[in-house]
Amino acid sequence: MSDARQSTGAGRLWGGRFTAGPDAAAWQLGVSTGFDRHLWRQDLAGSRAHVHELHRIGVLTDAERDELLAGLDRCAALFADDAFPFQPDDEDVHGAIERWLVEELGEVGGKLRAGRSRNDQIASDLRLWCRDACDELVGLIGELQHAFVGQAEAHLDWLAPGYTHLQRGQPVLLSHHLLAYVWMLDRDAGRLRDARARLDASVLASGALAGQTLGLDAQAYADHLGFARVAENSIDAVASRDFALEVLAACAILATTLSRLGEEIVLWATSEFGFARVGDAFSTGSSIMPQKRNPDVAELTRGKAGRVIGDLVALLTTIKALPLAYDRDLQEDKEPVFDAVGTLQLVLPAITGTVASLSFDRDRLAAASVGGFALATDLAEELVTRGVPFREAHEVVGEVVRLAESQGVDLDGLDPQQLAAVHPALDADVAARFDVQEAIRRRDGINATAVASVEAQLARARDAADTNRA
């Protein structure tokens, strides 16, 4: 192998036992600075904690500690300016930072590696990153929930058709339909919180897998980094990525919620439905059809679900057969996590703006809410209150619907004699059940669609949104 095919390996942390440098293709395969550079904040935070611990156990003098902390600060400033000088021979962000510290500070830069391994470093970095990502996503979910709360409040008593099987089922309030998303999103936020709580354990001082001999205190790292507790087992600490899987699963489910929302916006904005119009700022034109007004943001929201679900499946597949403890395969954990979180950070504000921009067509919604025999269930339930078993009431109303359909009218278009002929319990008073407002008003359970119920729900929804946004 010629030298040209070899890396110089100057940025390697492990050259000692080898006589030749790595093959260039092998090196390229292993280099991770292209993506793990995003962990610089977390890596430097871990290094600061480590400097303090090395100082406490006497490995660093006061002066060395101060020199290293100042060096780490300068390093952070470079990263913050996007000016950190990565070299082609830097294998990963940990190696790059160590190389830079040695160049900058000389021998003392090489003291930082004592008692730690990239295995515990990377696990710590990713946990810290995921912790912040969960917080950020929960906040963005809160913003989206607020967009729904605002729309629900502005359209509190507007009618809308409620669907099952995408067939008109029963009338509801538009606000009730909109608030359904607040609770779906609330569980999405809850899953991120749960994942965050479970991953909130410190892994530094685990070393490569078995801990270390220097007397470093795992609890001290937890305290420095603000972790809630210390991971119980050093092998588990470096080998496990179920925390990342949980974050990805929560992301995938959130993306699925958003995809359903995107689909519904697309549908409601068609001329066929015509229930909603997306604001100009969240619509796109066509390059050839001048009349077009396309709901691209909603479509992309739906489309992005595919890649976020893919990110979850990718990492599940990577991890499923790995023996304990650390395996290099685990380097593949970062990109799916970054991609899923980054995708949602892009999608959430855009779909939030889209929801806030929606204008609704009151007349079309009202017309659709009463069409299609939407009050048939109300009529059947009325018969139940008159002593008819529901099984029979269902049959009877089915016959009434068939009759109305054959005459091309809705239920309220049938004359009272015709109704009475179908069943004696269908007297003139049942006409009261053909009123959509009445149908809404009577559904006054705490989770139902009466105006007063939705008003109370709205207050709870606002609290939920506030909690997440905070």
Q: Which stretch binds ligand ARG (CB under 6 A): 98-106, 216-224, 327-335, 340-348?
A: 327-335
Is residue 423 among the annotated active site residues?
no
For residue 69, how many other CB atoms are within 10 A of its CB? 15
Q: Which is nearer to ligand ARG, 126 or 160 (CB)?
A: 126
Select which of 32, 38, 94, 165 is catalytic: 165
Instruction: Map tokens 């959509």 to a residue.
Output: 436
Q: Find the part of the chain contacting ligand ARG (CB under 6 A) among 55-63, 117-125, 150-158, 170-178.
A: 117-125
Q: Does position 330 bind ligand ARG by CB under 6 A?
A: yes
Shortest reach from residue 316's CB to ligand ARG, in Å: 17
C-beta of 331 vs 352, nearer to ligand ARG: 331
Q: Does 99 bind ligand ARG (CB under 6 A)?
A: no
Reduced to 3 states, what is the DSSP secondary structure of residue 228? coil
Residues in Cβ contact with 468 at an 8 Å cutoff, skipping those fewer than 6 apart = 138, 139, 141, 142, 145, 186, 189
* Burial group, residue 14, by CB count within 10 angstroms (0-12, 13-18, 19+): exposed
Q: Which residue's entry shows tokens 């569980």?
A: 187
- What are the tokens at 406? 């054959």
The 52-91 site mask, x for binding ligand ARG (CB under 6 A), equals: ----------------------------------------
Does 234 contact ligand ARG by CB under 6 A?
A: no
> Binding-site residue total for ligand ARG (CB under 6 A)?
9
Tell the smallest beta-carbon distance from residue 22 to ligand ARG (Å).
12
β partners of residue 294: 284
Q: What angle do CA 114, 118, 124 make, to 5 degrees?
A: 105
Q: Closest separation between CB of residue 274 and ligand ARG, Å?
A: 51
For this structure, is 165 an active site residue?
yes
Q: Which stretch binds ligand ARG (CB under 6 A): 48-56, 144-152, 328-336, 441-449?
A: 328-336
Site string for ligand ARG, 167-206 (x = CB under 6 A): ----------------------------------------
Q: Is 92 in the site for ligand ARG (CB under 6 A)?
A: yes
Site for ligand ARG in 33-52 (CB under 6 A): 36
- Among residues 45, 108, 122, 276, which is the contact residue for ligand ARG, using CB under 6 A? 122
Place of tokens 């006061």: 62
Element (H, E) at 11: none
Q: Which residues of 18-30 are buried (b: 16+ CB within 10 A; e: fewer)?
A: eeebbebeebeee
Can you tell me the distance from the alpha carbon of 50 to that of 220, in angstroms, rounded to the nearest whole number? 9
Contact between 118 and ligand ARG by CB under 6 A: the answer reads yes
**Residue (32 or 202) nearer to ligand ARG, CB:** 32
Interface residue with ligand ARG among 124, 170, 175, 331 (CB under 6 A) is 331
Q: How far is the CB of 111 from ligand ARG (least distance, A)?
A: 20
Q: Which of 328, 349, 402, 413 binds ligand ARG (CB under 6 A)?
A: 328
* Number of Cβ atoms within 10 Å of the Cβ of 277: 16
Give 52-61 contacts, CB < 8 A, sequence gap 24+: 52/220, 52/224, 53/115, 53/205, 53/216, 53/217, 53/220, 53/221, 54/111, 54/112, 54/114, 54/115, 54/216, 56/217, 56/220, 57/214, 57/215, 57/216, 59/111, 59/114, 59/115, 59/214, 60/108, 60/111
Residues that bind ligand ARG (CB under 6 A): 32, 36, 92, 118-119, 122, 328, 330-331
Q: Which residues are catalytic?
A: 165, 286
